[in-house]
Chain A
């Protein structure tokens, strides 16, 4: 299954490295990234393939949220179907 990871927080060195390392540790493959800085806020959206994640995806979403908090970031990982269902007919 594919998922969307969103990362928002104050810009600083190494955010992308930390999030992508976290994904790699959990065997979650990054398929695409879009990233920008808005008013000194770091905003990143990643599309990932999480079928082979080493833990249940629900656990992954909680862990990455916790990991984000440690870095002062808000990180959400959500199943892509929530976006597909809301925005596509």
Chain B
């Protein structure tokens, strides 16, 4: 009578009801290259018109799919061509673009729009530096616009002038939003090896090699993986890896289904599924708790990097077979303020910034949503970016820095952003000065592994 197994039905419903299985985001990538104009006001009008035309049904369609398939789709978002490219053609005040994008967001009703971005890994082109210097104000006068800057890559090396500048920009962004829990830098990511099809915020932008319009989907499901591991408490590590793979396969298949359906209903080609395990501050939706389920007393202790490496690899192996096209960041995220287990571990002092840095060598992003003391100097922030970018550059992987200087606060205090961004304790940094190194400027040359041809 039934072609679908009863146990499978109950398992799926259990994942959604009890283990927080959801689709984290449907992100529509929209190219703005055809909106370039030498008159900035005309360019703004074209941008507004194009985003609203392409994405007017995005939220409604996402909600329809969610209701019919019974799987929550948490966010509907838009990513656009890096605005520095549009600014290169028009010149003028980049804040006009930020305000135009915010207006478009308010019309179509998405949660976030990413792409107030510049790619400067090899140097600054026309528009890049002006846009970067406008980021603090752009993030303070808008609520939904996200910004990212790519300062290095395996093939180009690291632009240390940009690294120095971004330390200052992050500090300014925090100062500009100090009456709003310093939320500015929570919407700003500094990348090495930035992917051009990433659907996750705050680092999403629509790369220059992407089609005119595309649908990318980001999955979630740390709670499902943890629950699966809780069922095999005595298993050896090989079996743990197999269980993660099997679970990641199922999660990703639901993401692929939603991606296909959204693509069909919106008449927009499907781009990629991003296989990331993305936590939220809700209990039962934590990557740290998966690592603890593997056998660590607390995330951040010795063994954390090994557990995370296993998790990250098994998620990819399980997910890649479940999707016709995988991209974006794809791996496990470790944002401190967005993960209940990471927050607990940081509060207890078990999880330190040095351990987080080691973990970023084996996970899919980097130092993410980390709150640091308000008196942290720009050169220390720049040096953190340089360290992180070096890990990404040498290992041919994406790394990123999203840290938030808590203006007027120190170790022991907390910032509370609310919603998906969560809350985070101020973490201790090493304060010996790297200023001389940062002030030298120049470039870290590309490593030997860049010469693959």
Judge whether A32 and B8 touch: CB under 8 Å: no
Tell me the A36-89 residues at the B interface (CB within 8 Å).
45, 47, 56-59, 61-62, 76-87
Could you tell me the distance in whole angstroms from the C-beta of B338 to the nearest C-beta in chain A?
Answer: 25
User: Which residue, A58, A62, A82, has most C-beta atoms of chain B within 10 A?
Assistant: A82
Given known A-B contacts A83-B12, A85-B257, A62 and B5 have beta carbons under 8 A apart: no
Cα A31 to Cα B63 in complex, Å, equals: 27
State how many residues of chain A have any CB contact under 8 Å with chain B. Answer: 25
Judge whether A61 and B250 touch: CB under 8 Å: no
Of B9, B10, B70, B253, the contact of A61 (CB 8 Å cutoff): B70
Judge whether A61 and B67 touch: CB under 8 Å: yes
Judge whether B256 and A85 touch: CB under 8 Å: yes
Given known A-B contacts A79-B69, A79-B70, A81-B69, A86 and B253 have beta carbons under 8 A apart: yes
Of B2, B67, B256, B257, the contact of A62 (CB 8 Å cutoff): B67
- A27 on the interface (CB 8 Å rule)? no
Q: Which residues of B contact A59 (CB under 8 A)?
A: 67
- A28 on the interface (CB 8 Å rule)? no
Judge whether B68 and A58 touch: CB under 8 Å: yes
Judge whether B4 and A84 touch: CB under 8 Å: yes
Cα A6 to Cα B4 in complex, Å, equals: 13
Given known A-B contacts A4-B9, A58-B67, A87-B12, A82 and B4 have beta carbons under 8 A apart: no
Judge whether B67 and A76 touch: CB under 8 Å: no
- B1 on the interface (CB 8 Å rule)? yes
Q: Which residues of A contact B1 (CB under 8 A)?
A: 31-32, 34, 47
Of B6, B10, B69, the contact of A82 (CB 8 Å cutoff): B69
The closest CB in chain B to the CB of A47 belongs to: B2
Of B4, B68, B69, B71, the contact of A87 (CB 8 Å cutoff): B4
Judge whether B2 and A82 touch: CB under 8 Å: no
Given known A-B contacts A57-B68, A78-B69, A86 and B2 have beta carbons under 8 A apart: no
The closest CB in chain A to the CB of B71 belongs to: A82
Q: Which residues of B contact A78 (CB under 8 A)?
A: 13, 68-71
Judge whether B4 and A61 touch: CB under 8 Å: no
Judge whether B250 and A82 touch: CB under 8 Å: no
Q: Which residues of A contact B11 (CB under 8 A)?
A: 87
Cα A48 to Cα B254 in complex, Å, equals: 21
Tell me the B1-53 residues at the A interface (CB within 8 Å).
1-2, 4-6, 8-13
Could you tell me the distance in whole angstroms from the C-beta of B77 to the nearest C-beta in chain A?
Answer: 21
Cα A32 to Cα B10 in complex, Å, equals: 16
Give the size range of B's interface with the partner: 20 to 34
- B64 on the interface (CB 8 Å rule)? yes
Residues 10-34 of A, flagged 1 when their CB comes within 8 A of B and 0 if not, give 0000000000000000000001101
Determine the main DSSP class of B at the interface with A. Answer: helix
Q: Which residues of B contact A86 (CB under 8 A)?
A: 8, 12, 250, 253-254
Could you tell me the distance in whole angstroms from the C-beta of A30 to the nearest C-beta in chain B?
Answer: 11
Judge whether A34 and B2 touch: CB under 8 Å: yes
Judge whether B9 and A6 touch: CB under 8 Å: yes
Judge whether A83 and B8 touch: CB under 8 Å: yes
Residues 329-355 of B, flagged 1 when their CB comes within 8 A of A and 0 if not, give 000000000000000000000000000
Given known A-B contacts A61-B67, A86-B250, A76 and B13 have beta carbons under 8 A apart: yes
Judge whether A83 and B68 touch: CB under 8 Å: no
Cα A42 to Cα B317 in complex, Å, equals: 39
Judge whether B12 and A82 touch: CB under 8 Å: yes
Q: Which residues of B contact A57 (CB under 8 A)?
A: 67-68
Q: Which residues of B contact A62 (CB under 8 A)?
A: 67
Judge whether A87 and B5 touch: CB under 8 Å: yes
Residues 46-86 of B, flagged 1 when their CB comes within 8 A of A and 0 if not, give 00000000000000000110011111000000000000000
Judge whether A82 and B254 touch: CB under 8 Å: yes
Tell me the B231-257 residues at the A interface (CB within 8 Å).
250, 253-254, 256-257
Q: Which residues of B contact A47 (CB under 8 A)?
A: 1-2, 4
Of B6, B67, B250, B257, the contact of A81 (CB 8 Å cutoff): B257
User: Which residue, A45, A57, A85, has most C-beta atoms of chain B within 10 A?
Assistant: A85
The closest CB in chain A to the CB of B321 belongs to: A89
Could you tell me the distance in whole angstroms from the C-beta of A63 to the nearest C-beta in chain B?
Answer: 11
Judge whether A58 and B13 touch: CB under 8 Å: no
Cα A62 to Cα B5 in complex, Å, equals: 24
Cα A77 to Cα B68 in complex, Å, equals: 8
Cα A76 to Cα B64 in complex, Å, equals: 15
Could you write out 12 A-B pairs with CB less than 8 Å apart? A47-B2, A47-B4, A57-B67, A76-B13, A77-B70, A78-B13, A78-B68, A78-B69, A78-B70, A82-B69, A82-B254, A87-B12
For the complex of A and B, the 10 pairs showing the least CB-CB separation, nearest first, are: A78-B70, A58-B67, A87-B8, A32-B1, A85-B257, A85-B253, A86-B250, A82-B69, A79-B69, A83-B4
Additional 9 contacts, C-beta under 8 A, given A6-B10, A80-B4, A87-B5: A32-B1, A34-B1, A34-B6, A76-B70, A77-B70, A79-B70, A82-B69, A85-B257, A86-B254
